[in-house]
Amino acid sequence: MAIFLLAFILRFWQLGSVPQSLDWDEASLGYNAYSIMKTGRDEYGSFLPLSIRSFGDYKPPLYTYLTVLPVWLFGLNEFSTRFISAFLGFLTVVVSYFLIKELFPAKKYDLYLLFTFLFAISPWHIQFSRVAFEANCALFFFVTGTWLFLKGLKSGLFFLASFLSFGLSAYAYHSPRLIVPIFLFGLGIIFRKEIKTKITFFAVSVLLISLLFLPIILVFGTSTAARFGSVSVINPNEKLGESIKAIELDNNRGDFFGKFTHNRRIVFGREILAGYLDHFNFAFLFLTGDPPGRHHAAGMGMLYLVELPFIIIGLIYMLRNFSRGMAVILLWFLLAPLASSLTSGTPHAVRALLYLPTYQLITAFGLLYVFGWLSNNLSYNRSRLIKTLIFIAVIGNFFYYLHMYYVHTPIEYSYWWQYGYKEAVAEVAKIEKNYDKVFVTYQYDQPYIYFLFYNQVDPAWYQKNWGGGEVMREQRSFGKYVFRDLDWDEDSEMSKVILVGTASEIPEGASGLVKTINYPDGSVAFRLVAR
Q: What are the pLDDT digits (tens) for 164-218?
A: 999 999 999 999 999 999 999 999 999 999 999 999 999 999 999 999 888 887 7
Domain identity same for 50 and 144: yes
Give residue 508's region: left, alpha or beta (phi > 0; psi -120 to 50). Answer: beta
Residue type, 112: Y
Q: Do 364 and 469 reside in the same domain of the chain?
A: no
pLDDT of residue 260: 43
* Cα dihedral value 415, 173, 297, 399, nearest 10: 150
- The pLDDT of residue 232 is 47
Q: Is the dihedral of CA 430, 435, 437, 438 positive or negative?
A: negative
Q: Which of 334, 352, 353 is nearest to 343 (CA)?
A: 352
CA–CA dist 125, 413 (Å, integer) = 18
Q: Around Cβ 504, how many Cβ atoms within 10 Å?
A: 11
Same domain for 433 and 511? yes
- Whether residue 293 contacts residue 405, with contact meaning beta carbons closer than 8 Å, is answered with no
Would residue 158 count as lying in a domain? yes
* Among candidate residues 377, 412, 447, the one where a domain is terminated: 412
Residue 403 sits in the same domain as residue 438: no
Amino acid at 278: D
* Residues 317, 211 share a domain: yes
pLDDT of residue 466: 77
Predicted confidence (pLDDT) per residue in 359-415, tens digit: 999 999 999 999 999 999 999 999 999 999 999 999 999 999 999 999 999 999 999
**Statement to judge: residues 34 and 80 lie in one domain:** yes
Tell me the pairing of strands 481-483 and 497-501.
Answer: unpaired
Identify whether residues 342 and 475 lie together within a single domain.
Answer: no
Among 387, 412, 437, the domain-final residue is: 412
The full DSSP string for 378-434 is S-HHHHHHHHHHHHHHHHHHHHHHHHIIIIIHHHHTGGGGTTTHHHHHHHHHHHGGG
259 domain-assigned: no
Residue 274 lies in a domain: no
The three-state (H, E, C) secondary structure of 13-24, written as one string: CCCCCCCCCCCH
Whether 252 is in a domain gets the answer no
- The residue type at 291: P
**Please, are residues 310 and 367 in contact by the beta-carbon 8 Å criterion?**
yes
pLDDT at 234: 46
Residues 6+ apart with CB under 8 A from 53: 42, 43, 44, 46, 471
**In this predicted structure, what is the pLDDT of residue 255?**
54
d(CA 480, CA 497): 9
pTM, full prediction: 0.92
- Mark whether 83 and 117 lie in a shared domain: yes
Is the alpha carbon torsion for 258, 264, 265, 269 positive or negative? Answer: positive
- Residue 465: the pLDDT is 85
Dist CA 184 CA 166 (whole Å): 9
> What per-residue confidence (pLDDT) applies to 468?
55
Are residues 437 and 388 part of one domain? no
Last residue of a domain, which of 382, 412, 442? 412
- Residue 513, in any domain of the structure: yes
For 40-77, where are the alpha helices, taking DSSP H only? 62-74
Confirm if 63 and 82 have CB atoms less than 8 A apart: no
For Cα atoms 503, 504, 509, give the angle at the middle one, nearest 5 degrees.
Answer: 50
Q: Count of domains in the chain?
A: 2
| pLDDT confidence of residue 263 | 60
Preceding amide of 347 cis, omega within 30? yes
The pLDDT tens digits along the chain (531 residues) read: 899 999 999 999 999 999 999 999 999 999 999 999 999 999 999 999 999 988 888 899 999 999 999 999 999 999 999 999 999 999 999 999 999 999 999 888 899 999 999 999 999 999 999 999 999 999 999 999 999 999 999 999 999 999 999 999 999 999 999 999 999 999 999 999 999 999 999 999 999 999 988 888 776 555 445 444 555 444 545 555 544 454 454 455 455 445 544 566 676 688 889 999 999 999 999 999 999 999 999 999 999 999 999 999 999 999 999 999 999 999 999 999 999 998 888 999 999 999 999 999 999 999 999 999 999 999 999 999 999 999 999 999 999 999 999 999 999 999 999 999 999 999 999 999 999 999 999 998 899 999 999 999 999 999 988 765 444 444 578 999 999 999 999 999 999 999 999 999 999 989 999 999 999 999 999 999 998
* Domain contains 349: yes
Distance, CA of 325 to CA of 245 (rounded, Å): 45
The rounded distance, in Å, linking the Cα atoms of 279 and 346 is 7
424 & 408 share domain: no
Q: Do 401 and 438 reside in the same domain of the chain?
A: no
Q: How many CA atoms lie within 13 A of 83 on its CB side?
A: 20
Same structural domain for residues 167 and 88? Answer: yes
Termini Cα distance of the chain: 59
Containing domain of residue 367, as a range? 2-234+279-412
Phi and psi for 527 in degrees, rounded to 5?
-120, 135
Domain membership flag for residue 250: no
Q: Has residue 197 been placed in a domain?
A: yes
E strand or H helix at 328, and its extent?
A: helix 324-335
For the CA atoms of 67, 69, 75, 77, the dihedral, rounded to the nearest 10 degrees, stands at: -20
DSSP 354: G
CB-based burial of residue 257 (10 Å sphere; 0-12 exposed, 13-18 middle, 19+ buried)?
exposed
For strand 497-501 and strand 437-440, is the pairing parallel, antiparallel, or unpaired? parallel
pLDDT value at residue 242: 46
Nearest to 228 by CA among 186, 165, 171, 302: 171
